[in-house]
Structure 1
Amino acid sequence: MITHRDVEAAENRIAGHIRTTPVTLADPGTFGAGTVHLKLEYLQYTGSFKARGAFNRVLAAAETGMLSPEGVIAASGGNAGLAVAYAARTLGQQAVVYVPTTAPKVKVDKLHKLGATVVQVGNEYADAYEAATKKAADTGALFCHAYDQPEICAGAGTLGLELFDQLDGALDTVFVAVGGGGLLAGVAAALENRVQVVAVEPETIPTLHSALAAGEPVDVDVSGIAADSLGARRVGDIAFEVVRRAGVQSLLVTDQAIIDARRTLWDHHRVVVEHGTAAALAALTTGAYVPGAGERIAVLLCGANTSLTDLG
């Protein structure tokens, strides 16, 4: 479980290690709502919000003496591994990153460029996770979870604090794409009792939706256009508890809606993001969420480690 206080502590800890990413106002009426701001977090170091949690995890471990000479280990569909590799290199640590064989080449190539040792295992994130946790246990290296550790979630939540400050609190609703739920947990904790948080996920990977229906996190099948970035098999325990506490709304969107939303961002703003990132916007472009009169909305564009060749 994390709270607003944990996110504030993370914000102080990672100051100077991450970029403050810009916010831009969408063209009026483009997304069927009066005022929509786009938080351009894909401009963060390594191309996604994940750098925030990675720095918080490694720096917090350094404070408590948990860092090992063996360095750090992560399991990732790509973005979390990039963030951990970058944070490790910046802080003088060696990183080993386990990814599924289905991880996009653009992400694997970036991992190598960041100096990480890359191990490809299995077809899903869950396979990479199993191998990575075993290696961390065997070697004593610091394991950095992609989405379900308090430091990871709290670090991600600094995005919510930053956005709220940039808009001087003039924000009613924020849309967040969900895979394992680390970003959702952090943002919901950061904005609890101040801003409505709406979680959006693909119909083909309904980790949060299924957990809420079952009353606990459960495994789901992983498939679809956004599986490379939102491909966790189940939502994290931290995210699930924060969602229930904060009353987060959950919405599902189709793969075609995600593709169309991603194309809309390019057509109207010349912004190219990952399919998983576009899921957050798809809630507006499809009418899955209908804003109220005067509602002030922000959409988190959280990652862009993708290829122009599949913009289509």
Structure 2
Amino acid sequence: MSYTIALNFEDGVTRFIGCKEGETVLDAAYRQKVNLPMDCSDGVCGTCKGHCEQGEFDMGDEYLEDALSDEEAAEGQVLTCQMVPSSDCVIQVPVASTLCKTQVGKVESTVAAVEQLSEDSIELVVDLDDAEGLAFLPGQYIHIDVPGTEVHRSYSFSSLPGDKRATFLIRNIPNGVMSGYLTERAAVGEKLTLTGPLGSFYLREVKRPVLMLAGGTGLAPFLSMLAQLVEKGCDAPIHMIYGVNKDDHLVKTDALDAFVEKIPSFTYATVVVDEASEHSRKGYVTHHMDAEVMHDGDVDVYLCGPPPMVDAVLKYFDAEGIEPLSFHYEKFTPNQVGESA
């Protein structure tokens, strides 16, 4: 048996490794040429310390408390030289990937389809050359090289991790480099180079109610998260508020309807900013965050959208004294995915 371990480095790079049954994470990483920090490899120095965000494992009792205290262990801190996984795990590694002599991966792909969903958004579908698909955490993004240029643009996956076919929602920007390529030159069968996965915005283990706040093409990572929840199952309440500027900017609602059927605990609401809209819910997402979806703060909040939306939600939480149990957000600009928290 083998487990998949996601190593998230502090520079945003994620590297996936396979860990054999009974093997330590440190040994598995070195076997796959990822040099995680280490000095003693005996649980004495604490150099290999990281934080396990999710997954099951055994740490044994062979390490010294000077290397890992009981309090640290209770908070999810681990020593990778002693950690033996018993499930897939996600581990935060507190150093840059370059210091571990690992690099962000490159994947070749082929354009399978380009569809203009609205004046505001385009869906790009690519087939991955790797027959095993691409490993990433639902919510993460990747760089896509723009053919005919020396630049790349960054987009969140909207597809399920591990699928051989990957999809992306891309905002249609007038005179945008990627927008121009997709609307004017892209051809089925053309090769695209992807670099990643990247980012600290991803779905954590669901242990309580979840509130998803999506703005425009910021819907993309949530589609990936929901696809993952279909695969794994979920009983906790999941509610999404999806906001756009105009009525015809609402896209992929058929996919959201399908998720409602497949995840009984999932509900969603759409919101349109345009005052001329006849939509039943107008305004901003903050106008439709009632007490019921906040669960008295016992909720994990995920937010992805353009910077003004993210800033507005942050100010709203501060003004209302709202403190979710956990809060993860990602700003994006027309050119790239922005900061995460």
With normalisation by structure 1, the TM-score equals: 0.36
With normalisation by structure 2, the TM-score equals: 0.33
- Bigger relative CO (Cα 8 Å, ≥ 6 apart): 1
Q: Which has the higher strand share?
A: 2
